[in-house]
Structures are given as structure tokens and as C-alpha cells.
Amino acid sequence: MPAFTLYGSRGSTNTDRVRLTLAEGGFTDYELVLLNLQKGEQKSEENMKRHPWGKIPVITFPEGFTLYESRAICKYLARKYSFPLLPPDSDIEAAALFDQAQSTEMLYFAEPAGRIAFEKFAKKFMGLPPDDAVVSDALRSVEMFFNVAERLLQHKDYMAGKNFTLTDIYYIPLIQRLFACGYGDVILSRKAVSAWWDRCMNRSAIQKMLAADKEAAAAARK
């Protein structure tokens, strides 16, 4: 029996945060159950029991423990299985800087980047036109965010300090979505940000997972 079950969806940035965390931890002892978001399976009665807001991802353990919200899941898994993706609790300054970096990602990056992803990516699958005013406003916020990140990353290798942590993983799916929507220049035009992105993307576990996803997507199209 697998250690736990992850309910998610392919192409879901929130699900990919968890999958990237597991890949970095080298952890494969879990079952991935894919829900079809276009068919509304996340709003099914069964999934609403797991996630009261009818969203993904969710993890459930055989003994009954259930957890939703991608960042909470990532942090829990890193602690439970000792993935080297969190500062040690004994280093309270490093832990505080991690919490600071995590809050920064959620508040200043994920919110506007998520709006772009919804307007330019999700709406395409829904057969709806993007709201260009929403995209322009969100893009301004993302540009401002990376202007600050550019300054900060001149003095550290990763978002929370000198080590790669969960916080860096949190960025990856939505930045990939920005590239897919044609906005990769917000990363590539900033030297320190671009170098940080290269350091993240060149990690072997991340490369391996993304390559496997590409193969799966190609097979599905055949």
C-alpha cells in the first residue's frame, strides 16, 4: 500500500508544487489520482469531503489524515520525510527568512501571476477570451516583483538565502506558466533572476520530472 494518495490534476500549478517537492525528495511511494478539472471532478461530493472548497491538491493517508493547500502539503511532506528543503528548526533566523520568503511568494508573486495564468491559459481551455485589462494590471505587478527580486538575488543564490528550499519550488509552476503564455522575458531580461531560474531548472530531480511530463503529454496527444 502506498504511503499516501495525492489527488490532483496534470497541468495544475498547485499539484505540480507538490509533485516537484516529492521529486526533489526522491519520494515515489505514493499514488497519484488525477481529477478532470474540465469535467468538474474537483467539485464532486467525494472531493468536497477531502477539500471543503472543492479544489486540488489534497493528500490523504490510510489512517485518515487529510491535508489540502499546496504549500501546507509541501511543508508537511518535507518535515515528515526529512527532505532537505527546509532550514533546520534550530536555526531560527534561517527559519524566519524562509517564512518571509514564503509570504513574499504568495502575496507579491503568486497572486498576480495566477491572474495571468487564468486569463491567458485557463480561459483558452474554457473557450473564453482573456480580459486584457486584467492581464496588463497583473503583468505590471509581476514586473515590479521581479525588479525587487533582481536586487535581492544579487546577494543570495535562492529566494530564502544560500540554499535551495521549498520557496524556490513554489515559484516554478507559475513561472513555467508565464513562459507558456509568452511572458518569459520577465525572467530572462533580468540577469540575477535568470541565473536563479537556471539554477532551479538545472536540478536533476526537476529536469527528470519535467521530461517525464513532456513524454506523458506527447503520448496523450497521439
- Residues 97, 47 share a domain: no
Q: Tell whether the model's pLDDT for residue 216 goes beyond 90.
A: no
- Residues 106, 141 share a domain: yes
pLDDT in the model for residue 211: 87
Pick from 88, 100, 91, 77: which is nearest to 156 by CA?
100
pLDDT in the model for residue 15: 97
- Residues 106, 59 share a domain: no
Could you say which of 85, 118, 147 is where a domain stops? 85
pLDDT in the model for residue 11: 83
- Residues 133, 70 share a domain: no
Q: Are 187 and 194 in contact (CB under 8 A)?
A: yes
* Whole-Å CA distances, 120 to 12, 35, 138: 14, 22, 11
Number of domains in the chain: 2
Query: What is the pLDDT averaged over residues 101-129?
Result: 93
> Could you report the per-residue pLDDT of 69-89, keeping only the tens digit for each?
999 999 999 999 999 999 998
> Could you report the per-residue pLDDT of 152-199, keeping only the tens digit for each?
999 999 999 999 999 999 999 999 999 999 999 999 999 999 999 999
Pick from 86, 101, 82: which is nearest to 164 by CA?
86
- Residues 25, 56 share a domain: yes
Could you say which of 26, 58, 85 is where a domain stops? 85
Domain that holds residue 194: 92-206
- Residues 96, 151 share a domain: yes
What is the residue-averaged pLDDT of the chain? 95
Q: Are 54 and 43 in contact (CB under 8 A)?
A: yes
- Residues 173, 133 share a domain: yes
* Range from 99-103, 151-155, 169-173, 216-220 carrying the lowest mean pLDDT: 216-220
Rounded percentage of the chain residues whose pLDDT exceeds 70: 100
Query: What is the pLDDT averaged over residues 27-53?
Result: 95
- Residues 40, 138 share a domain: no
- Residues 130, 57 share a domain: no
- Residues 110, 74 share a domain: no
Q: Is residue 154 part of a domain?
A: yes
DSSP character at residue 161: B
pLDDT in the model for residue 59: 98
CATH of the domain at 47: 3.40.30.10
Rounded percentage of the chain residues whose pLDDT exceeds 90: 87
pLDDT in the model for residue 127: 86
> Could you report the per-residue pLDDT of 123-145, keeping only the tens digit for each?
888 889 999 999 999 999 999 99
- Residues 174, 136 share a domain: yes
Q: Is residue 106 part of a domain?
A: yes
Q: Is residue 212 part of a domain?
A: no
